[in-house]
């Protein structure tokens, strides 16, 4: 955990330097800082598995990249084009920046692991409920985030509100983001359940 914490701190400080929008960066990082503080305060009472700590590290790193560039302007196309000679948008004919959708999907894929660890440790959740409840919580917290995002954008308004929402003109952006988070959570828990069944029957 300490190695991951140090690596994240190093990456976070680097990404805190000259972000595209300092105000948007501050808004995006409010929950990141709260999450890191919670992990530090409860690390002994709610011990997480290595997989869960790694999942949190990967997700927060992805989120920090989005906060640095603003989600709708992360230059992943340029990065991939530098390596492969072609951009994803050109190959698939994409008209928007999909980094935000990728991170919402990653939220579901990755954070169900620490959610499951916490449920097992605090509520002794077992069996099918240990797979279903993490999906339900990932779904509900994804909805909570969209409401927080809408509220913050309404309060701050202007360019900051637009940058923070990052809808890119899609009126169904919030619904699609939540759907991707749920899909990612279902995928992760389904694979984990199948892995447990396979090891039990092996």
Asked if 16 and 25 count as a contact pair (C-beta separation under 8 A), the reply is: yes
Domain encompassing residue 68:
2-201
DSSP one-letter string for 159-193: HHHHHHH--TT-TTHHHHHHHHHHHHHHHHHHHHH
pLDDT of residue 101: 96
Residue (of 1, 186, 164, 139) closest to 71 by Cα position: 164
Residue (of 31, 18, 10, 6) closest to 68 by Cα position: 18
Per-residue pLDDT tens for 83-120?
Answer: 999 999 999 999 899 999 999 999 999 999 999 999 99
Q: What is the CA radius of gyration of the chain?
A: 18
pLDDT of residue 1: 77
pLDDT of residue 201: 66
With a cut of 50, list the residues of the chain below it in pLDDT: none
Please count the structural domains in the chain.
Answer: 1
Structure tokens at 129: 């409920």
- 41 Cβ neighbours under 8 A, 6+ residues apart: none
Give SS3 for 48.
Answer: coil
Q: What is the rounded distance in angstroms from the CA atom of residue 24 to the CA atom of residue 15?
A: 13
Residue (of 21, 34, 15) closest to 72 by Cα position: 21
pLDDT of residue 171: 82
Q: Where is 111: in which H helix or E strand?
A: helix 99-123
Asked if 104 and 173 count as a contact pair (C-beta separation under 8 A), the reply is: no
Q: What is the rounded distance in angstroms from the CA atom of residue 47 to the CA atom of residue 44?
A: 6
């Amino acid at each position: 955990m300490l190695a991951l914490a140090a690596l994240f701190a190093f990456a976070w400080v680097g990404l805190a330097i000259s972000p595209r929008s300092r105000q948007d960066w501050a808004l995006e990082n409010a929950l990141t800082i709260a999450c890191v503080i919670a992990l530090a305060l409860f690390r002994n009472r709610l011990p997480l598995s290595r997989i869960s700590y790694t999942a949190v590290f990967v997700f927060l790193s992805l989120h920090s990249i989005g906060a640095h560039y603003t989600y709708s302007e992360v230059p992943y196309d340029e990065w991939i084009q530098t390596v492969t000679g072609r951009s994803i948008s050109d190959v698939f004919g994409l008209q928007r920046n999909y980094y935000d959708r990728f991170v919402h999907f990653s939220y579901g894929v990755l954070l169900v692991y620490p959610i499951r660890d916490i449920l097992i440790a605090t509520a002794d959740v077992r069996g099918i409920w240990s797979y279903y409840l993490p999906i339900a919580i990932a779904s509900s917290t994804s909805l909570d985030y969209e409401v927080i995002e809408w509220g913050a954008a309404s309060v701050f308004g202007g360019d900051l509100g637009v940058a923070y929402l990052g809808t890119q003109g899609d009126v169904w952006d919030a619904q699609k983001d939540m759907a991707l988070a749920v899909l990612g959570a279902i995928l992760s828990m389904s694979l984990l359940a199948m892995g447990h069944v396979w090891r039990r029957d092996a």
